[in-house]
């Protein structure tokens, strides 16, 4: 079974530029998550989708971050404009459903904002 796919794996941009990340979850997984992991910390949720609807985006900085999950499969996360503090690893995860199921993580995208 294929795992969660993410691209790109690495990205370096200057502050105020925009960037987009892509995620393809495990086939059949209804729930998709985007987490931000700053160096030395545990991942923190940015947004959670159930199929193509948003379940939780309370910690998403909506003035600069946006995300969508068209057709309930692939998802993209965008940052515009980027700030230095956005430098982090962006992790995508998926689970079969919401209630207590284990989440499977992709390899992440390491973003460096200079």
Residue 43 sits in the site that holds other proteins (CB under 8 A): yes
In the complex, what is the shortest distance from the CB of residue 93 to other proteins, in angstroms, rounded to a whole number?
A: 8
Q: How many CA atoms lie within 13 A of 41 on its CB side?
A: 13
**Tokens read off for 67:** 């995300």
Answer whether 61's CB lies under 8 Å from 79's CB: no
Q: How many CA atoms lie within 13 A of 54 on its CB side?
A: 13
Residue 56 sits in the site that holds other proteins (CB under 8 A): yes
Residue 53 sits in the site that holds other proteins (CB under 8 A): no
For residue 104, the cross-strand partners are: 94
Per-residue x/- marks for other proteins, 72-101, CB under 8 A?
-----------------x-x-x---xxxxx
Write out the residues near other proteins by the rule CB under 8 A.
31, 33, 35, 40-45, 48, 55-56, 89, 91, 93, 97-108, 110
């Amino acid at each position: 079974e294929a795992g969660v796919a993410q691209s790109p794996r690495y990205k370096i941009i200057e502050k105020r530029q925009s960037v987009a990340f892509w995620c393809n979850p495990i086939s059949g997984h209804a729930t998709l998550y985007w987490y931000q992991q700053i160096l030395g910390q545990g991942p923190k949720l940015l947004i959670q989708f159930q199929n193509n609807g948003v379940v939780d985006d309370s910690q998403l900085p909506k003035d600069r971050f946006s995300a969508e999950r068209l057709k309930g499969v692939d998802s993209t996360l965008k940052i515009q404009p980027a700030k230095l503090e956005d430098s982090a690893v962006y992790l995508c995860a998926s689970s079969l459903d919401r209630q207590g199921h284990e989440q499977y993580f992709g390899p992440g995208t390491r973003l460096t904002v200079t």
